[in-house]
Amino acid sequence: MRRALVVGNWKMNGTRDSVRQLLADLKAGLDVGKPVDVAVCAPFVFIPEVAEQLKGSAIAVGSQNVADQKSGAFTGEISPAMLVEFGVRYAIVGHSERRAVYGETDALVAARYAQAIEGGVIPILCVGETLEQRESGDTFKVVKEQLDAVLDKAGVQSLGKAVIAYAPVWAIGTGKTATSQQAQEVHEFIRGEIRKRDAAVAEKVQILYGGSVKADNAAELFAMADIDGGLIGGASLDPKAFLTICHAVG
């Protein structure tokens, strides 16, 4: 049995005050008896305070990206070692907003992923197709390319220390959720691709769904056989909605 994981991705939102309030509400409201791990991926500058406030709680800290290099002259990047020093457990890599808005390629995403693994941070590897790619029947092809780029570089065993998130671009921030069947179909495909490389790894790896997960659709998505939790954008900024999503597991 795979344990469920729900990850909030705050993106570029929040103030010191709003973050403090949000975390206080999450800590107070989280039912730790539920079979779910919870994490929040904060903007880099908030991470020290977030880690401090979450110390001793059941909520883990994540970042929204991580460097593809260990250290050195890489202006603007944050290394895995720096994240580890501040208590970060997870780092999102290859989010579609990084790929589309900031031009991150499959190769760069694979390098970030490999560096995270090496540095002791669990990468949450995002894959997913655009609307155009879905409509032209290329969903599996695109997802496979994104996945292969990472597995060819880091090896399938690396997934023992990683999480995958299927986050179709057309469903992110649009209010359009993939139906639970649409999502399950791609999750099953991803697990099948991994199974071709290593069956035991495929059974264990958590595959999250991301894309307009809300309080009222989370339970149906999480009930699908290959959906092991969610990557939650917009709704992770609302403590009530995020908690409902966390509790929709199991």
Is the Cβ of residue 185 or residue 238 nearer to ligand PGA in the bound state?
A: 238
- The Cα 133–Cα 146 span in angstroms is 13
Is the Cβ of residue 67 or residue 172 nearer to ligand PGA in the bound state?
A: 172
> Beta strand pairing status for 36-41 and 122-127?
unpaired
Judge contact between 92 and 62, C-beta under 8 A: yes
- Contacting residues for 62 by C-beta, under 8 A, at least 6 apart: 7, 39, 40, 41, 42, 88, 89, 90, 91, 92, 124
Provide, rounded to whole angstroms, the least separation between the CB of residue 156 and ligand PGA: 24
**Which value, in Å, is the radius of gyration of the alpha carbons in the chain?**
17
Provide, rounded to whole angstroms, the least separation between the CB of residue 51 and ligand PGA: 22
Provide, rounded to whole angstroms, the least separation between the CB of residue 71 and ligand PGA: 29
Is the Cβ of residue 164 or residue 201 nearer to ligand PGA in the bound state?
A: 164
Q: What is the 3-class SS of 139-175, one letter each residue?
A: HHHHHHHHHHHHHHHHCHHHHHHCEEEECCHHHCCCC
Is the Cβ of residue 9 or residue 139 nearer to ligand PGA in the bound state?
A: 9
Structure tokens at 132: 């155009």
Provide, rounded to whole angstroms, the least separation between the CB of residue 81 and ligand PGA: 26
Is the Cβ of residue 19 or residue 167 nearer to ligand PGA in the bound state?
A: 167
Provide, rounded to whole angstroms, the least separation between the CB of residue 246 and ligand PGA: 14
- The Cα 210–Cα 111 span in angstroms is 22
Is the Cβ of residue 131 or residue 200 nearer to ligand PGA in the bound state?
A: 131
Provide, rounded to whole angstroms, the least separation between the CB of residue 247 and ligand PGA: 17
Is the Cβ of residue 30 or residue 169 nearer to ligand PGA in the bound state?
A: 169
Note the residues at the interface with ligand PGA (CB under 6 A): 9, 167, 172-173, 210-213, 231-235
- The Cα 60–Cα 218 span in angstroms is 20
Provide, rounded to whole angstroms, the least separation between the CB of residue 76 and ligand PGA: 21
- Residue 151: name the closest of 188, 198, 187 by CA: 198
Residue count of the chain: 250
- DSSP state, 30? -
Residue with the shortest CB distance to ligand PGA: 233
